[in-house]
């Protein structure tokens, strides 16, 4: 039946619209309309408390460029991302390679890694605050066994961000392991055997055969983790609230403060679009660079 050439009947049109309407209505109302609306709001002085919303042109964006807290927040966000993304990927890859074999207890090991996916940001934050507590935390106890004096961790402006890196790397390890394990199952044993026949050692075979075959998974993880890292909020809100001394104020946290504590919706919308721009630029660079290193078997 040459269905594709036939003009759609009125009833097909009607059915089509009936089927998409509920889903499309929700997505347009809560997804598409807000995209335009917040763009408009970013051009207004929109403060919920005053009620008037005059247009101010690009003033919010100009203010943003000169806001020292925004500069700090951008720096913290980028430092965090630069540590979190490679950290999670390297640990995830290492564990996935170690777990990609049929040895005893292997499902136990894998389950331990997967379990980190089930924990919510709040429990993750609470446990790490407790582990890294300056006075009673067990991490300081372990350090004392090594003769290292107790650290302030989340109370220290120079250390707090790194503790947040540690807690989120831990929380995302399971995800990275799952992605890499799935990709490793797709590496054909014949290729590794062939490399071994050609005299390649295990490390060479890993670098020359396995790693290139994993590159699509690596690119996906890099992009996905980066998008999430640039949007870091939950752990910061739950552990440091941006402190101490703004040391962990990341972009989304500052945006939240501006929007829902100061009710500067206009300025907050400008920050949101600025964040969107950063995400677009960073992921575009990743795809650009990634394409050169990514190997697709077609």
Closest CB 88 distance from another protein, rounded Å: 13
Site string for another protein, 49-78 (x = CB under 8 A): ------------------------------
Q: What does the alpha-carbon distance between residue 237 and residue 249 come to, in Å, rounded to a whole number?
A: 9
- The encoded tokens of residue 89 equal 């990927």
Nearer to another protein, 56 or 127 (CB): 127
Residue 237 in contact with another protein, rule: CB under 8 A: yes
Residue 269 as a binder of another protein (CB under 8 A): the answer is: yes
Point out which span in 49-57, 79-87, 154-162, 229-237 binds another protein (CB under 8 A).
229-237
**Nearest distance from residue 56's CB to another protein, in Å?**
17
Given candidates 169, 225, 229, 255, which one binds another protein under the rule CB under 8 A? 255
Nearest to another protein of 70, 113 (CB atom): 113
53-61, 65-73, 76-84, 108-116 -> range binding another protein (CB under 8 A): 108-116
Q: Which of 64, 217, 225, 247 binds another protein (CB under 8 A)?
A: 217
CB 219 within 8 A of CB 288: no
For residues 78 and 227, which CB has a smaller minimum distance to another protein in the complex?
Answer: 227
| Cα–Cα nearest to 278, from 258, 249, 252 | 252
Which positions from 22 through 41 interact with another protein, judged by CB under 8 A? 22-24, 26-35, 37-38, 41
What HEC string does the chain produce? Answer: CCCCCCCCCHHHHHHHHHHHHHHHHHHHHHHHHHHHHHHHHCCECCECCCCCCCECCCHHHHHHHHCHHHHHHHHHHHHHHHHHHHHHHHHHHHHHHHHCCCCCCHHHHHHHHHHCCCCCHHHHHHHHHHHCCCCCCHHHHHHHHCCCCCCCHHHCCCCHHHHHHHHHHHHHHHHHHHHHHHHHHCCCHHHHHHHHHCCCCHHHHHHHHHHHHHHHHHHHHHHHHHHHHHCCCHHHHHHCCCCCCCCCCCHHHHHHHHHHCCCEHHHHHHHHHHHHHHHHHHHHHHHHHHHHHCCCCC
Q: Does 245 bind another protein (CB under 8 A)?
A: no
Tell me the site size for another protein, rule CB under 8 A. Answer: 105
Query: Is the Cβ of residue 160 or residue 259 nearer to another protein in the bound state?
Result: 259
Binding mask 167-206 for another protein (x = CB under 8 A): ---x--x-x--xx-xxx-x---x--xx--xx----x----
Identify residues 111-140 at the interface with another protein (CB under 8 A): 111-124, 126-128, 130-131, 135-138, 140
Q: Which of 16, 148, 285, 293 binds another protein (CB under 8 A)?
A: 16
Shortest spacing between CB 123 and another protein, in angstroms: 5
In contact, 184 and 209? CB cutoff 8 Å: no
């Amino acid at each position: 039946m040459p269905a594709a050439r036939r003009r759609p009947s009125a009833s097909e049109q009607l059915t089509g619209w009936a089927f998409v309407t509920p889903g499309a209505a929700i997505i347009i109302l809560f997804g598409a309309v807000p995209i335009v609306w917040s763009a408009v709001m970013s051009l207004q002085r929109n403060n919920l408390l005053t009620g008037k919303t005059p247009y101010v042109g690009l003033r919010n964006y100009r203010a943003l460029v000169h806001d020292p807290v925004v500069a700090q927040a951008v720096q913290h966000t980028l430092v965090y991302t630069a540590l979190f993304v490679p950290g999670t990927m390297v640990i995830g890859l290492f564990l996935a390679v170690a777990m990609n074999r049929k040895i005893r207890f292997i499902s136990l090991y894998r389950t331990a890694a997967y379990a980190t996916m089930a924990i919510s940001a709040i429990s993750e934050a609470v446990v790490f605050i407790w582990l890294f507590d300056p006075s009673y935390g067990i991490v300081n106890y372990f350090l004392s066994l090594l003769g290292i004096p107790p650290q302030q961790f989340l109370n220290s402006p120079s250390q707090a961000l790194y503790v947040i890196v540690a807690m989120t790397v831990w929380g995302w390890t399971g995800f990275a392991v799952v992605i890499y394990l799935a990709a490793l199952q797709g590496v054909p044993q014949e290729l590794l055997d062939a490399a071994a026949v050609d005299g390649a050692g295990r490390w060479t075979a890993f670098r020359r055969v396995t790693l290139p075959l994993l590159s699509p998974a690596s690119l996906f993880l890099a992009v996905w983790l980066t998008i999430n890292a640039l949007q870091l909020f939950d752990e910061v809100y739950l552990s440091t609230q941006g402190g101490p001394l703004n040391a962990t104020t990341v972009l989304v946290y500052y945006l939240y403060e501006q929007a829902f504590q100061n009710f500067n919706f206009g300025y907050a919308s400008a920050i949101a679009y600025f964040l969107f721009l950063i995400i677009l630029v960073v992921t575009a660079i990743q795809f650009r660079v990634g394409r050169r290193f990514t190997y697709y078997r077609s």
